[in-house]
Amino acid sequence: MFGLARKKKEGWLAVGLFADRIDVAHVERPAGARPRLVRLESYARSGDDAAALSALAKQKNLAAYRITTLLAHDSYQLLSVDAPDVPEAELREGVRWRLKDMVDFPVDAAMLDVLPSPVGQMAGRAPTLLAAIVSNTALAPRMAAFDKAKLDLQAVDIAEQAQRNIAALFEDENRGLVMLGLDESGGMLTFTYRGELCVARHIEVTTKQLEAADESRRSALLERIGLELQRSIDNFERQYTSISVSKIVVGPCPSAPGLVEYLRDYVYIPIVAADLATVIDCDGVPEISNPNLQAERLQVIGAALRDESAERGQHQVNLLNPSLRASRDWLALPLVVGLGVAIVAVLALFYGLAARERTLLLKEETALTAEAKNLQTQVETLAKVVAERKPNADLARQATTLRAMLAPRQEVVQRLKAFSAQDAGFGAYWRGFAQQALEGVWLTEFFIGKSEILIRGRLSDPALLPAYIRRLNGEKAFQGRNFATLEMKAVEAQAPAPAAVAVAGAARAATTTAAPLLPRYTEFTLQSTPAAPKTGAGG
């Protein structure tokens, strides 16, 4: 009734939400091989984020993935701060306190995460780290949209880290790398070392500005990019003297052809154009060879490159705030109905077991009742014969014996009726007694307790008792108990009470005749004891 959670597809599915479209990229990170781009798509959207995601999730089976999403650049801040001198477990709270005067919203109502410096503490300087922080007010609508679409959002990412993920693929071992990316939100410079982000700088130049500019304006925009690159490299080299930058990688930018050649006049470090096909297996998405597509989807591909594997050891920012997830309505109708169905099913199961036990008891009661009726019929038949015929000592003796046999059986039937109405838990014992009935043995009294069973009865022949005990000990209902004789007492033949018998053709006056003796019998008492535990061979 409660289904098992489906296994998610390998890797991450990154979802980028834009005003007019939704971009998705799925990347797998197989061990010992290049990352594999499995899926890269863009869909026109309408309506709010929740409605657009819900429609797309149903059409494209997005629920089968673990998902990360990119926040818009203007909705969060990435700040460099001195690392507080606190235990690692208290690092985030220590950073939160340091950020309270650096942001324009309450830090207590915000989600933050940190990226430590990859070079540790440098001589004469306190260690630094990068802190990403977003207010709950800005984060809540994004998380709510994914919750309403019933998508498995496991991470909230930032653009700087997405570009870091791509830049790390182009790094030379133990050398720093600078990457420049340009898109519709602006330019971004990232400085990475050993796969970690050291510095990020934003450039207020967008691809739309470059596309719309005339030659003079375009030249001014490119100059701004070149000067910002030059200043950022100078600052980085002064701050991180131990890191040697091997090259500058420029992301695809069709709106600025010749950008790589232009920037070479501003820096001495080698500059190359980024080609994703050299560092990512793109065989499953051949259209990625289009530079326009690479430029437009660079960040969503970078977010899908998220890697939390221990062997690569990259630190990952995650601004997902669990406290903002939609709380489950435990009184919602579907859940109440589900719980009701579960309760009914459990009750039906218990009722079925109880009904089955009661049915077995009723069958036993019916069998014993039929036996008692048969004995009653025999007694009545014999009594009638005795009343109509001359007294016969054998018949009188048989009638007396049958009455003696009938009485305890009637008592058993009465007890069974009372028992089946009150407690069906001793049905197994009743079946055991009924199945091991032995001619010449009848029970007059028994007691069933938690740890013992006491039986009293009569024997027509004392030699029957050992066989009866063996039958009881072999009965499944009495497993774990051993029956043994406590007491045996012989009862001599007795004369029944005098009876007046009317003889056909005689006078009405009663004639007293000598009554036959009741047969000799033996009374016995049995008690069960727990069976001794079995010992294994060897001790």
Question: Considering only CA atoms, which of 397, 464, 478 is closest in space to residue 434?
Answer: 478
Closest CA to 150 of 54, 46, 64, 56: 54
Q: Using the predicted structure, report yes or no on whether residue 488 has a pLDDT greater than 90.
A: no
pLDDT exceeds 50 at position 40? yes
pLDDT of residue 137: 97
Is the pLDDT reported for residue 338 higher than 80? no
pLDDT of 411 = 78
Q: What is the pLDDT of residue 510?
A: 42
Q: With contact defined as beta carbons under 8 Å apart, do 413 and 362 qualify?
A: no
* Cα distance between residue 277 and residue 8, in whole Å: 26
pLDDT given at position 3: 42
Q: Residue range 136-154: average pLDDT?
A: 96
Give the pLDDT score at 1.
Answer: 42
Residue 124 has pLDDT above 50, yes or no: yes
502 has a pLDDT exceeding 70 = no
Mean pLDDT over all residues of the chain? 84
pLDDT at 537: 45
pLDDT at 517: 66
- Going by their DSSP bridges, the two strands 271-273 and 245-250 should be labelled as parallel
Give the residue, 393 or 190, on which the prediction is more confident.
190
List Cβ neighbours of 365 (8 Å cut-off, separation of 6 or more). Answer: 413, 416, 417, 420
- Residue with the bigger pLDDT between 512 and 261: it is 261
Of 36-45, 107-116, 188-197, 396-405, the range with the lowest mean pLDDT is: 396-405
Give the confidence band of 505 by pLDDT, cuts at 50, 70, 90: very low
Question: Position 248: which residue type?
Answer: I
**What are the structural domain ranges in the chain?**
12-327, 330-423, 436-493+516-532
Q: In what order do the strands lie in the sheet with 481-491?
A: 441-448, 453-459, 521-530, 481-491
Q: Which helix (H) or strand (E) holds 147?
A: helix 136-148
The secondary element (H helix, E strand) that includes residue 448 is strand 441-448
Task: Give the pLDDT of residue 358.
Answer: 78
Give, in degrees to the nearest 5, the angle at Cα 245 between 240 and 251: 120
pLDDT tens-place string over residues 262-296: 999 999 999 999 999 999 999 999 999 898 899 99
Find the mean pLDDT for residues 444-470.
Answer: 86
Domain 12-327 matching CATH 3.40.190.10: the answer reads: no
Look at residue 335 in the predicted model and tell me its pLDDT. 58
In this model, does residue 509 exceed pLDDT 60?
no
CA separation for the pair 364, 320 (Å, rounded): 66
Task: Check residue 494 and give its pLDDT.
Answer: 67
**What pLDDT sits at residue 268?**
94
Sheet holding 128-135, edge to edge: 77-82, 128-135, 110-116
Instruction: Identify the pLDDT of residue 371.
Output: 81
Q: What percent of the chain has pLDDT over 90?
A: 51
Task: Please state, in angstroms and rounded to a whole number, the distance separating the CA atoms of residues 487 and 437.
Answer: 20
Over pLDDT 70: what percentage of the chain?
A: 84
| pLDDT, position 333 | 53
- Residue-wise pLDDT for 223-271, tens only, equals 999 999 999 999 999 999 999 999 999 999 998 889 999 999 999 999 9
Q: What's the pTM?
A: 0.61
| pLDDT level of residue 4 (50, 70, 90 thresholds) | very low
Confidence of residue 511 (pLDDT cuts 50, 70, 90): very low
Average pLDDT over residues 464-473: 88
Lowest mean pLDDT among 41-45, 74-78, 99-103, 410-414: 410-414
User: Which pLDDT belongs to residue 63?
Assistant: 92
| Residue owning tokens 């009935």 | 437
Note the pLDDT tens digit of each residue in 284-329. Answer: 999 998 988 999 999 999 999 998 776 666 889 999 999 998 765 5
pLDDT of 123 > 70? The answer is: no
Q: How far apart are CA 341 and CA 1, in angstroms?
A: 10
Structure token digits, residue 338: 């589900």
Q: Please tell me the predicted confidence (pLDDT) of residue 475.
A: 87
pLDDT in tens, 57-105: 999 999 999 999 999 999 999 999 999 989 988 999 999 999 999 999 9
- Cα 362 to its chain centre, rounded Å, is 43
Instruction: Please say if the pLDDT value at position 506 is more than 50.
Output: no
- Please, which residues bridge with residue 17 across strands? 22
Q: 341-353, pLDDT tens digit by residue? A: 777 777 777 777 7
Domain covering 436-493+516-532 in this structure, CATH number:
3.30.1360
